[in-house]
């Protein structure tokens, strides 16, 4: 958290220093402003000031608006100070990629655990995608790749239909939702067309942050810190990189979790742990061979 202190007014306010530190209402408000910025309805400066006011709990009242009209010079100076403060405190909002500003989203908590569309209720994944199956991950990643290539929002709807499903029996991956039916994805996705664009943006940012965490984060499993980064090492020669479909084929052939369907239904973390253990065993075998 960052602290704002205005001694003369006796004001001390703490402002989130990352997306992960925001409350749900704060995050939703920020997403609406980022959506308005993307749509060209507000400027970057106005976007930052609005967000600062929300995060700091500052409200514009009829009295403050009247004061600004009566004291334009003072109001202008205050506006300049607020803009400078927004630049200083809200630097975490964006990162630059090839000269383009992108949200530096780092929140792994799913602030949309369920979506209500009409009378229907759809259950989403747990925080950090910890209860998602390999099959769900493959399907969602495929739609994300298509969206990145085409910018067709229907692929976001397909992602939502893959990961948000009606309540149902407990799945092997741990989720209590209806079983995934890839053949019905596009039909099921029609229900998500009415989801507001800012919610879809939040979903994409959250999903991307969770995937990055799976690939680079550290997890505590049985009291031990575990990282799957080596499985996704982009520096390895082509042909050795991890591919979900090839992984499912290999594991199904070994019958580790069962056939293709059982493997696809397995929790993605369980599969990554097995792959990491295989990697450790292979590296130890190479070391033993060299020692001999």
Q: Count of alpha carbons within 13 Å of 67, Cβ hemisphere only? A: 10
| Same domain for 126 and 74 | no
Domain-terminating residue out of 103, 121, 156: 103
| Same domain for 143 and 75 | no
State residue 62's pLDDT score: 63
* Tens digit of each residue's pLDDT (9 = 90 or more) over 148-183: 999 999 999 999 999 999 999 999 999 999 999 999
Nearest to 88 by CA among 7, 15, 8: 15
CA distance 164 to 207: 12
Residue 154 phi, psi dihedral angles, 5° rounding: -65, -25
| Same domain for 74 and 37 | yes
For residue 36, what are the domain limits? 2-103
| Helix, strand, coil content of the chain in percent (nearest 5) | 60, 15, 25
State residue 291's pLDDT score: 58
Domain-terminating residue out of 103, 134, 160: 103
| Same domain for 183 and 286 | yes
Between 67 and 277, residue with greater pLDDT:
277
| Same domain for 113 and 98 | no
pTM for the model:
0.88
| pLDDT higher than 50, residue 8 | no
- The widest CA-to-CA distance across the chain, in whole angstroms, is 87
What total of structural domains would you count in the chain? 2
State residue 51's pLDDT score: 92
Q: What is the mean pLDDT of residues 27-38?
A: 96
Between 269 and 285, residue with greater pLDDT:
269
Kindly report the average pLDDT of the chain as a whole number.
Answer: 87
Nearest to 160 by CA among 94, 112, 100: 112
* Tens digit of each residue's pLDDT (9 = 90 or more) over 178-187: 999 999 999 9
* Tens digit of each residue's pLDDT (9 = 90 or more) over 85-140: 777 888 899 998 888 889 999 999 999 999 999 999 999 999 999 999 999 999 99
State residue 53's pLDDT score: 85
| pLDDT higher than 90, residue 39 | yes
Please enumerate in sequence order all residues whose Cβ is within 8 A of that of 69, keeping only pairs 6 or more positions apart, or say none: 75
The H or E element that residue 283 is part of is: helix 268-291
| Same domain for 127 and 99 | no
CA distance 279 to 282: 5
Say if residues 267 and 170 touch (Cβ distance below 8 Å).
Answer: no
State residue 9's pLDDT score: 47
| Same domain for 162 and 198 | yes
Q: What is the mean pLDDT of residues 56-71?
A: 66
| Same domain for 64 and 197 | no
| Same domain for 131 and 42 | no
| Same domain for 34 and 132 | no
| Same domain for 238 and 171 | yes
The H or E element that residue 35 is part of is: helix 24-38
| Same domain for 118 and 89 | no
Torsion of CA 108, 114, 117, 119, to 10 degrees: 180
State residue 56's pLDDT score: 84
pLDDT band at 82 (very low <50, low <70, confident <90, very high): low
Domain-terminating residue out of 56, 75, 103: 103
State residue 61's pLDDT score: 61
pLDDT band at 245 (very low <50, low <70, confident <90, very high): confident
State residue 247's pLDDT score: 87
| pLDDT higher than 70, residue 79 | no
CA distance 46 to 29: 14
- CA distances (Å), 79 to each of 30, 46, 68, 72, in order? 20, 11, 10, 10
CB-based burial, 25-64: b 16+ in 10 Å, e otherwise: ebbbbbbbbbbbbeeeebeeeebbbbbbebbbeeeeeeee
């Amino acid at each position: 958290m960052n602290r704002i202190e205005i001694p003369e007014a006796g004001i001390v306010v703490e402002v989130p220093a990352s997306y992960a530190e925001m409350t749900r209402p704060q995050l939703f408000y920020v997403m609406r402003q980022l959506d308005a910025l993307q749509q060209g309805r507000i400027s970057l400066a106005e976007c930052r000031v609005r967000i600062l006011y929300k995060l700091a709990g500052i409200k514009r009242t009829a009295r403050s608006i009247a004061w600004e009209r009566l004291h334009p010079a003072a109001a202008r100076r205050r506006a300049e100070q607020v803009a400078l403060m927004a630049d200083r405190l809200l630097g975490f909002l964006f990162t630059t990629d090839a000269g383009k500003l992108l949200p530096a989203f780092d929140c792994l908590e799913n602030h949309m655990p369920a979506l209500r569309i009409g009378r229907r209720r759809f259950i989403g994944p747990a925080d950090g995608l910890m209860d998602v199956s390999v099959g769900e991950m493959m399907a969602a990643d495929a739609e994300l790749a298509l969206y990145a290539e085409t910018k067709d929002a229907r692929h976001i709807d397909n992602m939502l239909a893959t990961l948000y499903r009606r309540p149902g029996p407990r799945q092997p991956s741990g989720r209590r939702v209806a079983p995934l039916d890839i053949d019905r994805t596009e039909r099921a996705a029609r229900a998500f067309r009415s989801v507001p664009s800012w919610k879809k943006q939040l979903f994409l940012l959250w999903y991307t942050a969770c995937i990055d965490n799976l690939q680079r984060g550290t997890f505590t499993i049985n009291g031990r810190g575990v990282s799957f980064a080596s499985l996704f090492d982009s520096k390895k020669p082509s042909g050795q990189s991890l591919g979900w479909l090839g992984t499912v084929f290999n594991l199904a052939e070994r019958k580790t979790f069962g056939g293709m369907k059982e493997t696809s239904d397995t929790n993605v973390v369980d599969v990554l742990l097995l792959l990491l253990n295989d990697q450790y065993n292979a590296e130890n075998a190479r070391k033993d061979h060299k020692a001999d």
